[in-house]
Structure 1
């Protein structure tokens, strides 16, 4: 019999660790994830606070070492108990960063696979080192699904430059998102079960023009979302929270533009750092959140192979530490470079947290999916920067 405080349980064959972590993150869950396997001598434990792993243990391994080891488990059972976590916070890496690194370590053979017949199969996200990763969302909430549609392998779902206001959630299958360039289509991301096709603009702007193309990879089943209900829920949010969501939407679109500029060798990083001073340094412990009142700032990521411009923020945009969403940007993985004319206002983040907590499951999943797309698209931009460089 399931204990009263066990709120999620199942098989690792059905739901892999990366998917479980995304699900717990989307629901800002606090508690303990326990994993057992007949192929492992010791159980594994991962401790979560507000959807983010803070510590872990598996045998003699602790912290990140333990989490990465558990990514190798292909057979076993898991259960998540909702409870207060007393464990000390020793993990500071972002949730999506951990997922991508854990999968890569398994793929590269740095993490031992634990389970039957685990000698050769590569993870689907990393079959091709040059392929864009697959983003999976949490379990689908059918409350907002108004209809279902099927698409066959290679079939066009959305075409860049065409009008459209539908938003879909992927019930089953994989969809590739790409942008058109003079050199041909450029893959941006692949979306899997639980992810959304469409942006905020899809249901907010009359006559919205699609900014990317979506194509079915294999056969795909989609759920058509009730756009009117989504728009009504958006309208009930405070103006500040609506502004935050629009700011996140702009970040994601800019990341797609960076990928195109890099592919065409037209990105000049100097414009994002010259005559700008660091306001938030990458890897800092900044905990504040800000609204831009005037001027601009740039989001810049530092890697061993260079400084990579990700986005430019203007009046009405937000930046800083956002505890309930994992963007893979500042403060952990990017710096904020301020222009001379920048003026900001500090924002009380607790108000945003409360609004986020009261959202419907579908709208919360949609926002979390935007954040995940920002994190993964950033990784794609970094890979393109390493491959293609900046201006020619």
Structure 2
């Protein structure tokens, strides 16, 4: 056995999407080798700090090869921790790859290779809400867990509009996050082991009102987090890092609002959000890799698509944009552009200092921030797919998390 092998198993138990989430949450660098007896050669995925940078599948390379490997629904895998010499030709965010890979598999674009007798996990877990991707978090840190609670299938864990000042981490099971609009339930996210229920506002604001409903899918075991310890840790952070976290929280809230608007058919089409805006950061162009804070004016984060830019978030004074070295949002610069008003004023932020503060976080708080980044990435893909002409054809298959 290879001494550097740290993970191995069956693809009928852990799908490629699950493996990508697991390796991503641990920030692993190394090579994932997949074996399928129905394929003449093994497949390879190369990781750098938890993100796939290249892949090989027969004569295919890069993103095309990686998407094709989602069709390997049986076989085995092994991950070895080692230095990677492969060229970086994949820049798409990890969660963006997972969502697109599963969507292509569900839509029949990616051919299944191997027996499905054991079941493809991503398909097995579908529910009436149409969810095809489960957001999983990193391994649970029990240091901040003060109690455990069990919920049964269909039971409401929290309800939109109710007060609540605590957070949970999912120890085992799956939870649907939904919102109710005009008596209709709108699916937002589906989260699994290691994911969090509740936002940072839950333990920071007195009388916090829940903005969504969490529903147990099957039996669920949750860990109640120590709100006092989390609040104390937040209070000890530098102001700039607190502002940074608040800016991230604004993004997920705006993306959720856009998901609701698209679902209800109320997305604004009568005005051009990009009118009189200039591009500050062009998608895919990150030579400078700088991080900025807005001092004046307004900016728009937008994904460039064949049908034009899709507005994702509005940023104002105090918000950040640019290259974040320790988080992958599926936004700028690799996954989105930044448009700005003529009166924009920005200042450079010390990325190294921000990164040091991030690494000082407790494991639980760091997991909360990482999970927030993952949810931003998934919500972004949902918004973009809703604006795509193809989405209407595939909605019955993958309306929520694709």
**TM-score, with structure 1 as normaliser:** 0.89
1:1-20 aligned within 5 A: 1=1, 3=3, 5-20=4-19
* Structure 2 residue 28 is matched with structure 1 residue 29: yes
After superposition, the C-alpha distances for 1:131-172 in whole angstroms (9 at most, x for unaligned) are 474322233333322222111222111111111012111222
Residue 124 (structure 1) shift: 4.5
Partner of 2:218: 218
The 1:129/1:184 distance shift into structure 2, 3 A limit, reads closer
CA shift for structure 1 position 342 = 1.4
- 1:348 to partner: Cα distance: 2.8
1:145 corresponding residue in structure 2: 145
Gaps of 5+ in 1: none
| Rounded Cα–Cα distance in structure 2 between residues aligned with 1:75 and 1:357 | 37
Alpha-carbon spacing, 1:370–1:209, altered in 2? closer, same or farther (3 Å): same
**Alpha-carbon distance change, 181 to 109 in structure 1, aligned in 2, over 3 angstroms:** closer
User: Is the alpha carbon distance of 1:249 and 1:132 closer, same or farther for their aligned partners in structure 2, counting shifts above 3 Å?
Assistant: farther
Query: Take 2:253 and 2:325, find their aligned partners in 1: how far apart are those partners?
Result: 22
With over 3 angstroms needed to count, the CA separation of the structure-2 counterparts of 1:360 and 1:21, relative to structure 1, is: farther
Q: Which residue of 2 aligns with 1:274?
A: 275
| Structure 1 residue matching 2:137: 3-state secondary structure | coil
Summarize deviations over 1:219-238 as a string: whole Å, max 9, x none: 22212122223233333433
Residues 119, 161 of structure 1: CA spacing in aligned structure 2 closer, same or farther, 3 A cutoff? Answer: closer
Higher mean C-alpha displacement, 168-177 vs 246-255: 168-177
Which stretch has the larger CA shift, 197-206 or 27-36?
A: 27-36
| Cross-structure match for 1:330 | 332
Alpha-carbon distance in 1 for matches of 2:271, 2:28: 41
Q: What is aligned with 1:111?
A: 110
Which position in structure 1 is the counterpart of 2:168? 168
Q: Would the aligned equivalents of 2:54 and 2:87 in 1 still touch at CA under 8 Å? A: yes
Partner of 1:77: 76
Tell me, in whole angstroms, the C-alpha distance in 2 between the residues paired with 1:233 and 1:9: 36
> What root-mean-square deviation, in Å, do the aligned CA atoms of Structure 1 and Structure 2 show?
2.7
Please state how far the C-alpha of 1:129 moved relative to its aligned partner.
9.6
1:281 Cα deviation after fit: 2.2
Match of 1:290 in 2: 292
Distance verdict in 2 for CA 1:333–1:13, change over 3 Å: same
Partners of 2:12 and 2:119 within 8 A in 1: no
Cα–Cα, structure 1 residues 37 and 261, in superposed 2: closer, same or farther, change >3 Å?
closer
Aligned residues: 387
Counterpart of 1:368 in structure 2 is 370
Query: Does the CA-based 8 Å contact 1:133-1:376 persist in structure 2?
Result: no
Describe the superposition over 1:240-265 as per-residue Cα deviations: whole angstroms up to 9, x where unpaired.
22222211111001111122333251
Alignment partner of 2:273: what SS? helix
Aligned position for 1:42: 41
CA 1:331/1:250 → structure 2, altered by over 3 Å: closer, same or farther? Answer: same
SS for the counterpart of 1:363 is helix
**Where do residues 59-74 of structure 1 align in structure 2 (5 Å cutoff)?**
59-74=58-73
| Secondary structure at the counterpart of residue 270 of structure 1 | coil
- Structure 1, residues 29-66: CA drift from partner, whole Å, max 9, x if none? 22222233444432222211122111122333322232
Flag the 1:313–1:88 CA change in 2: closer, same or farther, 3 A.
same
Asked if 1:320 corresponds to 2:337, the answer is no
Partner of 2:398: none
Is the Cα contact below 8 Å between 2:139 and 2:194 reproduced in 1?
Answer: yes
SS of the aligned residue for 2:8 comes to strand
Q: Given that residues 132 and 189 in structure 1 are in contact (C-alpha distance below 8 angstroms), is that contact kept between their aligned partners in structure 2?
A: no
Return 5+ residue gaps in structure 2 as ranges: 393-402
Q: Report whether the alignment pairs 1:242 with 2:242.
A: yes
Cα distance in 1, alignment partners of residues 367 and 140 from structure 2: 9
Task: Give the whole-Å Cα distance in 2 for the aligned partners of 1:159 and 1:34.
Answer: 43
User: Aligned equivalents of 1:24 and 1:39: distance in 2?
Assistant: 25
Deviation at 1:118, TM superposition (A): 5.2
